[in-house]
Amino acid sequence: MRATATSTGGSGTIAAKDRPSDASGASDQELAARASGGDEAAFRELLRRYERPVFSLVYRMVRDRALAEDLAQETFVKVFNGLASYRREFKFSSWIFKIANNAAIDHLRRRELDTLSLDGPTDAPTRGNRTGQVRQLPHRGENPLEELEARELGGAIEQAIGRLRPEYRACILLRHVEGYPYEQIAEMLELPLGTVKTYIHRARNELRAYLGDAHP
């Protein structure tokens, strides 16, 4: 996409076809088709619709704000570059969350490999290094970004979500924060429907245990 006009925030003019008002009422599918044809305003509208959901998912998966922005940006660039091959029989939301989740999971796997290679092999992996979710939240006051992370992810439910293995965490976030049905989550994560239901059921049990509300 080569911008032919300065878009929001710039000092230039905006071509009529690129005005946000032309895009805001369109469906995701229409916007994707227009963006694929080089319409910057259409892509900007998709970005506006999905920046918070995508960032939220990735941030809660990797639990590092700056890294989450990098991975979310990588997601949008991949979406942009893949628009021509996007299959419109699938929901756009399924496609973009699939790319976002893959970016987060790939990162967690790389980090896990790095951790294992630094520490050497272990006979009995801990839950943390097995699941790639070892990063601890900083205490308040270390620097402004870490303070923000502690505020955003430091609550009891956020900490409990952070303790889930990544596969469970993605399912719970897509179900309870984004509100997607099981069937669409299965499509996003490329998992059988029964597996998604099992993951969500187990994740809820683990969350209750972490929150001290399990069966006595």
Chain contacts with another protein (rule: CB under 8 A): 1-3, 7, 9, 40, 43-44, 47-48, 51-53, 55-56, 59-60, 68-69, 72-73, 76-82, 84-85, 99, 152, 156-158, 161, 172-173, 176-177, 197, 201, 204, 207-208, 211, 213, 215
Burial degree of 199 (CB within 10 A; 0-12, 13-18, 19+):
buried
Residue with smaller CB distance to another protein, 63 or 111: 63
Helix residue ranges per DSSP H, the chain: 20-23, 28-36, 40-62, 65-82, 92-119, 127-131, 144-153, 156-163, 166-172, 182-189, 193-210
**Please, what is the minimum distance in Å from the beta carbon of residue 8 to another protein?**
9
**Please, what is the minimum distance in Å from the beta carbon of residue 25 to another protein?**
20
**Please, what is the minimum distance in Å from the beta carbon of residue 18 to another protein?**
12
Q: Which residues of 5-29 are buried (b: 16+ CB within 10 A; e: fewer)?
A: eebeeeeeebbeebeeebbeebebe
Residue with smaller CB distance to another protein, 54 or 108: 54
**Please, what is the minimum distance in Å from the beta carbon of residue 122 to another protein?**
33
CA 207 to chain centre: 20
Residue with smaller CB distance to another protein, 91 or 130: 91
